[in-house]
Amino acid sequence: MKVVVNEKEYEVSQGTNALDLLKEFDNEQAKKALVAQVNGHVQDLQAPIKEDAKVKYLTFDDEEGRHTLRHTASHVLAAAVKNLYPDAKLAIGPAIENGFYYDFDRDESFTPEDLVNIEKEMKRIIKKNEREERFTLPRDEAIKLMKEKDEPYKVELIEDLPEDKEISFYSQGDFVDLCAGPHLPSTNKIKAIKLLSIAGAYWRGDEKNKMLQRIYGTAFTNKEDLDNYLNMLEEAKKRDHRRLGRELDLFDLHEEAPGFPFFYPNGMIVRNILEDYWRKIHRENGYEEIKTPMILSQKLWETSGHWDNYRENMYTTKIDDEDYAIKPMNCPGGVLTYKRKLWSYRDLPIRAGELGLVHRHEKSGTLHGLMRVRCFTQDDAHIFMTPEQIKDEVIGVYKLTDSVYKVFGFDYSVELSTRPENSIGTDEMWEQATEGLKSALDSLGVDYRINEGDGAFYGPKIDFHLKDSIGRTWQCGTIQLDMSLPERFDLSFIGADGEKHRPVMIHRVVYGSIERFMAILVEHFGGAFPMWLAPVQAIILTITNRSDDAANELLNKMLFSGIRAQTDLRNEKIGFKIREAQMHKIPYMLILGDREAESGTVSVRTRDGKTINSINQDKIIELLQKEADEKTLSRNWDL
């Protein structure tokens, strides 16, 4: 049997597993490998290779490697809980981004002290270095095994599997769990673990089912990476946009309207800046702005395919005994604006942008500040074009998106998502659309990864994953190519031959949604916005009330110059005023005493503590104007 590893071909006996192969030919890499990819399929290192194969070894640097290590850690968590609390019933325990969790049914609530004991037991299990052994059972025997172990949730999972589905388990010493895998060969590759929190979770995510207890944790291959991750979590707590939104008087959510955010004056300033910048850059790139209704007929959503594919997330209503839906997306309305007249090929591409308010019914347990809400404004644009224009238009959208992210200081990675199972449209449409996106990315020289099966139901897409200042990633921008909606809505244009032809459609966003992008910005900057985004750009602080008139005169000059400024004329010590301005993360404090008032100068202090004494008032206004106009991320002038 022939096996190819790292472009080298080896002759091995049938049934040799990837781990033995690696130990024989590259013992050093064997120490790092966590799982193998055999002919594109990820499997245990100890699983036999049954045919000629191309083998790739995956480490913790690979997503599948991290997933495997953390999934094994979730089994270690379940084993530890069963050792300490035998009455606990097992539900599910997947790996997730940055960690893992396991759901348990137990009469008593887990406490923080319990987590300490469970983590200690997990480390004991890991130190034993028990092998992860996979075995399969016929359906009846699998159910019998789980009933004998008194695991009702596992029995339910098995009963819901297709009858011809192979039922696989993994044993780890005396512990056995229902699982499809893959897993590590043994537990000792989990070098660093930490249990993080406890939460409630309905069985199978259904509010009608029993509430279980979910224990979250994370795992790494070394303690340094774990410590860095835990430090990042602590920093993330300080930057939590929900807390900063309240402290900086930007926005908040109230129990009277769960999932529907309230924006306060400071928040509206930031929001309007984002929207104004969006309009400016889109005008410069050949887009026209449109506005479509929030409520549209059910028939429209049936035509678009959303009624069959997205109905559970839609709010519905009746008007004059007819069924309508509050739009969860702007796309069908954008399609109707295209249909208002018959276009010529000379008119294309048509680029129509919309800041459209949409509503989606999200479950209460998934709501999270501005990150996950029930109403939000998408910065949608829809481009209608000929098939020949696909590549150039995708390149244009990519460049526009790149320029926006650079203004905010974001690095990003790119992902191309392909056809999902519940898709609409023909194979030919999907092939042409996917190739169009690939061709554009390749011509730009973009480094991207393929995310198989994660496209929209109507077309493949390019996703932009932003990396913030503490290393977290956020999916924001997307470019989705769609040949299905033009077909469903019978869109057309008159070609050079005088005949009707079908246009191709791009759906795209840059921010994603105004609300979520604001939340990301708050956490990225820790609330300390660059000056051009700051709700209050400068505050004038008086030392005594003798300078009040001079402060008001300076305020008027700054407001007239377009600088968002305020005064603090309270009868408080200057040190108190400075500390309070710093707490509100105001970029600049202009301090006025008797001497400054008389000479027409100010002393300037930045929110990070740098100072300059006696600078001319007109000069500081000029410098602040320049910084705001240039949209720099930090001060572009010297104190």
Cα 150 to Cα 436: distance, rounded to the nearest angstrom:
53
**Cβ contacts of 286 within 8 Å, gap of 6 or more:** 351
Of 71, 391, 461, 472, the catalytic one is 461
DSSP 441-452: HHHHT--EEEET
Is 347 considered catalytic here? Answer: no
Given a contact cutoff of 8 angstroms between Cβ atoms, the answer to whether 507 and 382 are in contact is yes
Of 44, 380, 468, 482, the catalytic one is 380
User: What's the DSSP call for residue 481?
Assistant: E
The two three-digit tokens of residue 605, written as one number:
């202090």
The two three-digit tokens of residue 305, written as one number:
């395919």
Q: Is the dihedral of CA 494, 496, 501, 506 positive or negative?
A: negative
Beta strands in 282-419 (DSSP E): 288-289, 295-297, 315-319, 322-326, 343-344, 350-359, 375-385, 411-417
Of 43, 81, 21, residue with least CA distance to 184: 43
Is 340 considered catalytic here? Answer: no
Backbone angles phi, psi at 233, to 5 degrees: -65, -40
Of 327, 351, 419, 507, the catalytic one is 507
Q: How far apart are the first and last CA of the chain?
A: 72
Cα 245 to Cα 130: distance, rounded to the nearest angstrom:
48
Q: Cis before residue 387, ω within 30 degrees of 0?
A: no
Q: Is the dihedral of CA 159, 163, 165, 167 positive or negative?
A: positive
CA 2 to centroid of chain Cα atoms: 41
Say which residue the tokens 């009858």 belong to. Answer: 163
> In whole angstroms, how far apart are CA 193 and each of 42, 173, 520?
24, 20, 28
CB atoms within 10 A of CB 574: 18
Given a contact cutoff of 8 angstroms between Cβ atoms, the answer to whether 287 and 382 are in contact is no
Element (H, E) at 57: strand 53-58
User: What's the DSSP call for residue 459?
Assistant: B
Bridge-based pairing of strands 99-105 and 95-96 is antiparallel
Of 46, 298, 331, 516, the catalytic one is 331
Of 46, 172, 378, 480, the catalytic one is 378
Cα 76 to Cα 126: distance, rounded to the nearest angstrom:
8
Cα 293 to Cα 329: distance, rounded to the nearest angstrom:
11
Of 382, 391, 419, 584, the catalytic one is 382
Beta strands in 242-342 (DSSP E): 251-252, 262-263, 288-289, 295-297, 315-319, 322-326
Is 382 considered catalytic here? Answer: yes
Question: 163: buried, middle or exposed (CB in 10 Å: 19+, 13-18, 0-12)?
Answer: exposed
Of 360, 472, 564, 577, the catalytic one is 360
Residues with catalytic annotation? 331, 360, 378, 380, 382, 461, 507
